[in-house]
Structure 1
Amino acid sequence: MIRTILFALLLLFLFDRCAQQVSPTGGKKDSIPPNLVESNPLNKTLNFKGKKVELFFDEYVVVDNINQKLVITPEADNPYSYKQNGMSVLLSFKNEFKDSTTFTLNFGDAIRDFAEKNPAKNLKIVFSTGSSLDSGRVYGTLKDMQTGRPLFDALVGLYNISDTLDITKQKPYYFSRTDSSGVFSIENIQTRAYKLIAIDDKNRNMLFNAKDERMGFLEESVTAGVDSVSYNISMFLSDNTPIKIQRTIPKVNNYSVVFNKPVERVNVTFMNKDTLPYLLEAGGSLKFFNVEPHPDSTLVKLTAIDSLGTSADFEQKIAFQQQRGKDRQRDAFSLTTLPEPNRPLENTFTYKLILNKPVRSLDDKNITLITDSLSHEPLSSFQWSWNANHNIATITAKSFAKDSIKWDIPKGTIVSVEGDTLPKTFLKHPVLNEEDYGIIKGRVVNPDTASNYIVELVDEQYKMVKVKEGTTYTFSQVPQGKYFLRVTVDRNRNHRWDTGDMSKNRQPEPILYLKDKIILKANFELNDINITINEKSK
């Protein structure tokens, strides 16, 4: 009997333990931002004479770097302090606001919820110290010029018109940011003339960084509340900072002159009888190579030219480091090709061997094109030539291969100016099968005879696949896929797209996109894929 009672009590104990409720762990993450429920003054208050602004939210909030993120327009020289109190934030200003003026306090993402730090969205307060609110408005859309796509969260500003306007140092008088459709609207602004400028503002400091931020502008001034039009602005990269030598890197084997920005070309003039091999590397670095014999230093004159066509002249002394051992430490000698390895080739093709150093010698009798197990043709049997810096060999060749085209480059056949040799290299490409590809044909409609036209076929990542100049085009051997067609209006006929320069009030050359995406299937031909030039783009 006692054993039965003890067993029953044990079962009750275990059942009680199993039935206990435990609070669930984790839970859905709070992604809802704090909402403004009241403010003092109320939004759009008139005749405001106070020096305090208080915001009340529906949950506990924290303040994040408000001194940097809160933007007051028009810009007011009025210092303030802030106090965070649970579900409210109080701003106390030192002075009263300027009379008869409409002010906008835009908080950006400076106020966030306490739990998950979600920022309050579109948080701004508008009030007037006069008897009416300024009602001027400027609106429109932004798009990227190279892709035609709308830009999100770009800064669109209205600037006071001035001969000394410098957007790298001056913030806009009024501003707005674009939504996901690239749309902007600047409201409650004084009715007068402004300069309208848009910038990427990636670091959100409201200043233009020419090195990596896009910008766009209108040539003529705009008048808020008078011009009832939607402004369309195209954004582009335009680094108009002066070219400078940022630093030099002397080594035993080479000497690099590094510019502060990418340059398209550098003209080099040696000031004495000595000469040195050199080449311009990607990213704006001009490298000279140490070739014996040479003096302790070599004086050169450099003329660097950027993508805007701006040039700068420098005199530079090239002085290599002294060698401290028997062996030199060389950078690796490497090769790339165009087309890249494993890309299909036609039987008649143009090919480029691209070396990272100027070449001293190339044995074109021992570099061979292999078309089958028995056919080995030396490079010397084809037409080929060097570029000016002797690091790119362009080859025009013909093969009778059925399956693959191969280049055999034995060790020792290519030697750099530093004396090192390219290791044995074997390059292979399949022979292009026309049935695996398609054709796209079309023309430029309504062209301007004074301009040249650059027609590009680009993929879904906007990488250029094919290019043709003129008003008609045929793109053959195009892989199956989805594409866009864009046309650059080459107004100065220099065979490239030229960016704009706001300091000269010069817009970039227009780039137009075909509205519809092109879908191409293998072994198909698409005709009359035309793009029309409007009068404004001529």
Structure 2
Amino acid sequence: MIRTILFALLFLFLFDRCAQQVSPTGGKKDSIPPNLVESVPVNKTLNFKGKKVELFFDEYVVVDNINQKLVITPEADNPYSYKLNGTSVLLTFKNNFKDSTTFTLNFGDAIKDFAEKNPSKNLKIVFSTGSSLDSGRVYGVVKDIQTNKPIFDALVGLYNISDTLDIAKQKPYYFSRTDSSGVFSIENIQTKTFKLVAIDDKNRNMLYNARDERTGFLNENVTAGVDSISYNISMYLSDNTPLKIQRTTPRVNNYAVIFSKPVEKVDVTFMNKDTLPYLLEQGTSLKFFNVQPHPDSTLVKLVATDSLGTTTEFEQKIAFQQPRGKERQKDPFSLTTLPESNKPLENTFTYKLILNKPVQYLDDKKITLITDSLSHEPLSSFKWEWNANHNIVLISAKSFAKDSIKWDIPKGSVISVEGDTLARMFIKHPVLNAEDFGIIRGRVVNADTASNYIVELVDEQFKLISRIQNTTYNFQNIPQGKYLLRVIVDKNKNQKWDTGEMAKGRQPEAIYYLPDKVMLKANFELNDINIVIPK
């Protein structure tokens, strides 16, 4: 009897172990997404009055960040909770949906299968709280104006037309998000007229943050239709927030005024007889240097111009910290060049010496250009000049070198306003061999004589290689590689690209790209590479 009982217990133990469910260790990986088999309400239901939406799938599913990924249009302002029930997902809304309105619930990739996390594709439910479904549609493509690349996950919104439209405070009535190709489609909307706007919406609050989010808009209103045209939207950065002095940093050697956003330039007027050298660093920091003698404090008027051309005036008192030690600690004095060291130079060239502090003394007879270690010509024999802040030397020079060109900058030949000097520097460049480089030539087709044109050659990372202001271009001595060509329509002829500003209804200056990349080989000439401007 005891033996029988023991045998039965052993049998049950072994059977239980065999019956345990474990994940399969082999076999083909499941790549099939969950399929929607039923929904309540059924897709395209009319006269829906409920507060619950339930989706039923053909396998077990999980929910992934549904509060961020579920897009409900028009924006319902109707909080909901969700419950996962194995193969179904139940949404329970707090309030009834607005009457006589077509709603679209687009789930994106918020619902995935349990095993491999494959997202359900094109998961969307449409229903109407009235007796008919809205059939309007607005669709198109969103790209970045400066790179011509599609923008993924941009918010594209339709706003009710209003003279007081403020996308920083108003959410769109209908909206969609772009896919990886920059394509958007807003469907099942009222067939009426809207304002079409795209924003980055990085924080996904559906409001525009001008400081760090791109935007784009159409000047003309759009009318949603069953077969409406495709709209192209170009997005750009346009920080129209008021310029402020964010903070100041007083030190013994210098005094920095930090702006709340980058500025193009700052005009400085000293309100008394005192003057101080200064530099605008990285577009946001205006640094004044402590040179003796000067009063304990200096009052200045600053007129700063931002990227939108807006000027703002400030009055600022400059007061340096009092020294505490016997000797003031100075920031290192440094020099960079353009072109950079070791970059090839033609025998006739333009050149920049760029210093990180204003300079009080430069000996142009001690700084020399060495040609193949034989010829030494002082800087004074070439044409050179300072920039306005006395920290950049602009040089036009000519050499007869065959192999290398070298600058010799002895110690003591350049002295900053703080009284420090550079260590001796040798800056070397090989002489450019034209056979190692190529040429790209072409013109702008359909150019308008009323506008100015800037043709730019950029690499695949959109780094500027060369630019010319004309309707014809001839880019010489270009290294072998792949490049992009673009043309800026400089309407206001200020020799730079200007961004747009939606609040003023101003579009950015147009940029047109050559559709295909240019592939250049060494010692090759590419002619008639023309950029067409649409008529």
Give TM-score scaled by structure 1 length: 0.90
User: In the TM superposition, what is the alpha-carbon distance from 1:39 to its structure 2 partner?
Assistant: 2.1
Q: 1:26 to 1:329 in 2, by over 3 A?
A: farther
Is the partner of 1:264 in helix, strand or coil? strand
User: In the TM superposition, what is the alpha-carbon distance from 1:389 to its structure 2 partner?
Assistant: 0.4
Q: 1:33 to 1:342 in 2, by over 3 A?
A: farther
User: In the TM superposition, what is the alpha-carbon distance from 1:504 to its structure 2 partner?
Assistant: 0.8
Counterpart-to-counterpart distance in 2, 1:83 and 1:33: 20
Q: 1:124 to 1:292 in 2, by over 3 A?
A: farther
RMSD value over aligned CA atoms? 2.3
Counterpart-to-counterpart distance in 2, 1:499 and 1:187: 31
Deviates more, 1:329-338 or 1:128-137: 329-338
User: In the TM superposition, what is the alpha-carbon distance from 1:312 to its structure 2 partner?
Assistant: 0.9
Q: 1:187 to 1:522 in 2, by over 3 A?
A: same
Aligned to 2:243: 243
User: In the TM superposition, what is the alpha-carbon distance from 1:467 to its structure 2 partner?
Assistant: 1.0
Aligned to 1:95: 95
Alignment partner of 1:329 is 2:329: yes
User: In the TM superposition, what is the alpha-carbon distance from 1:408 to its structure 2 partner?
Assistant: 1.2
Kept in 1, the 8 Å contact 2:74–2:175? The answer is: no
| Counterparts of residues 502-517 of structure 1 (less than 5 Å) | 502-517=502-517
User: In the TM superposition, what is the alpha-carbon distance from 1:335 to its structure 2 partner?
Assistant: 1.2
Q: 1:93 to 1:281 in 2, by over 3 A?
A: same
> Unaligned stretches of 5+ in structure 2?
1-21
Counterpart-to-counterpart distance in 1, 2:266 and 2:32: 55
Q: 1:287 to 1:113 in 2, by over 3 A?
A: farther
| Counterparts of residues 22-421 of structure 1 (less than 5 Å) | 34-113=34-113, 120-225=120-225, 228-421=228-421
Deviates more, 1:86-95 or 1:264-273: 86-95
Q: 1:452 to 1:62 in 2, by over 3 A?
A: same
Is the partner of 2:263 in helix, strand or coil? coil
Kept in 1, the 8 Å contact 2:341–2:427? The answer is: yes
User: In the TM superposition, what is the alpha-carbon distance from 1:54 to its structure 2 partner?
Assistant: 1.6
- Residue 320 of structure 1 aligns to which amino acid in structure 2? F
Alignment partner of 1:463 is 2:463: yes
User: In the TM superposition, what is the alpha-carbon distance from 1:238 to its structure 2 partner?
Assistant: 1.5
Q: 1:29 to 1:340 in 2, by over 3 A?
A: farther
Counterpart-to-counterpart distance in 2, 1:227 and 1:397: 63
1:33-80 Cα distance to aligned partner (Å, 9 max, x none)? 554443211222111111111223444444455445433222223333
User: In the TM superposition, what is the alpha-carbon distance from 1:460 to its structure 2 partner?
Assistant: 2.1
Aligned to 1:425: 425
1:338-357 Cα distance to aligned partner (Å, 9 max, x none)? 00111100111111001111
Q: 1:330 to 1:157 in 2, by over 3 A?
A: same
User: In the TM superposition, what is the alpha-carbon distance from 1:167 to its structure 2 partner?
Assistant: 1.7
Counterpart-to-counterpart distance in 1, 2:305 and 2:32: 51
Is the partner of 1:380 in helix, strand or coil? helix
- Residue 425 of structure 1 aligns to which amino acid in structure 2? M
Q: 1:78 to 1:147 in 2, by over 3 A?
A: closer
Counterpart-to-counterpart distance in 2, 1:420 and 1:434: 40
- Residue 444 of structure 2 aligns to which amino acid in structure 1? V
Deviates more, 1:318-327 or 1:100-109: 100-109
Q: 1:113 to 1:332 in 2, by over 3 A?
A: farther
Deviates more, 1:248-257 or 1:55-64: 55-64
Question: Paired residues, what number?
Answer: 514
Is the partner of 2:401 in helix, strand or coil? coil
Q: 1:328 to 1:72 in 2, by over 3 A?
A: same
Counterpart-to-counterpart distance in 2, 1:385 and 1:210: 39
Aligned to 1:485: 485
User: In the TM superposition, what is the alpha-carbon distance from 1:252 to its structure 2 partner?
Assistant: 1.4
State percent identity of aligned pairs: 81
Alignment partner of 1:450 is 2:450: yes
User: In the TM superposition, what is the alpha-carbon distance from 1:374 to its structure 2 partner?
Assistant: 2.9
Deviates more, 1:172-181 or 1:80-89: 80-89
Aligned to 1:523: 523
Counterpart-to-counterpart distance in 1, 2:284 and 2:359: 21
- Residue 453 of structure 1 aligns to which amino acid in structure 2? Y
User: In the TM superposition, what is the alpha-carbon distance from 1:375 to its structure 2 partner?
Assistant: 1.8
- Residue 146 of structure 1 aligns to which amino acid in structure 2? Q
Deviates more, 1:92-101 or 1:24-33: 24-33
- Residue 184 of structure 1 aligns to which amino acid in structure 2? F
Give TM-score scaled by structure 2 length: 0.90
Counterpart-to-counterpart distance in 2, 1:69 and 1:194: 24
User: In the TM superposition, what is the alpha-carbon distance from 1:106 to its structure 2 partner?
Assistant: 3.0
Counterpart-to-counterpart distance in 2, 1:312 and 1:386: 27
User: In the TM superposition, what is the alpha-carbon distance from 1:276 to its structure 2 partner?
Assistant: 0.9
Q: 1:390 to 1:124 in 2, by over 3 A?
A: same
Aligned to 2:438: 438
Counterpart-to-counterpart distance in 1, 2:110 and 2:24: 33
Deviates more, 1:172-181 or 1:118-127: 118-127
Counterpart-to-counterpart distance in 2, 1:105 and 1:231: 23
- Residue 158 of structure 1 aligns to which amino acid in structure 2? L
User: In the TM superposition, what is the alpha-carbon distance from 1:296 to its structure 2 partner?
Assistant: 1.7
1:449-484 Cα distance to aligned partner (Å, 9 max, x none)? 111111112222222212111112211112222222
Is the partner of 1:503 in helix, strand or coil? helix
Aligned to 1:11: none
User: In the TM superposition, what is the alpha-carbon distance from 1:402 to its structure 2 partner?
Assistant: 0.9
Is the partner of 1:295 in helix, strand or coil? coil
Counterpart-to-counterpart distance in 2, 1:515 and 1:27: 46
> Unaligned stretches of 5+ in structure 1?
1-21
- Residue 485 of structure 1 aligns to which amino acid in structure 2? L
Q: 1:23 to 1:163 in 2, by over 3 A?
A: closer
- Residue 516 of structure 2 aligns to which amino acid in structure 1? D
Is the partner of 2:503 in helix, strand or coil? helix
Counterpart-to-counterpart distance in 2, 1:210 and 1:130: 38
Aligned to 1:472: 472
Counterpart-to-counterpart distance in 2, 1:56 and 1:295: 79
User: In the TM superposition, what is the alpha-carbon distance from 1:191 to its structure 2 partner?
Assistant: 1.4
Counterpart-to-counterpart distance in 1, 2:445 and 2:221: 32
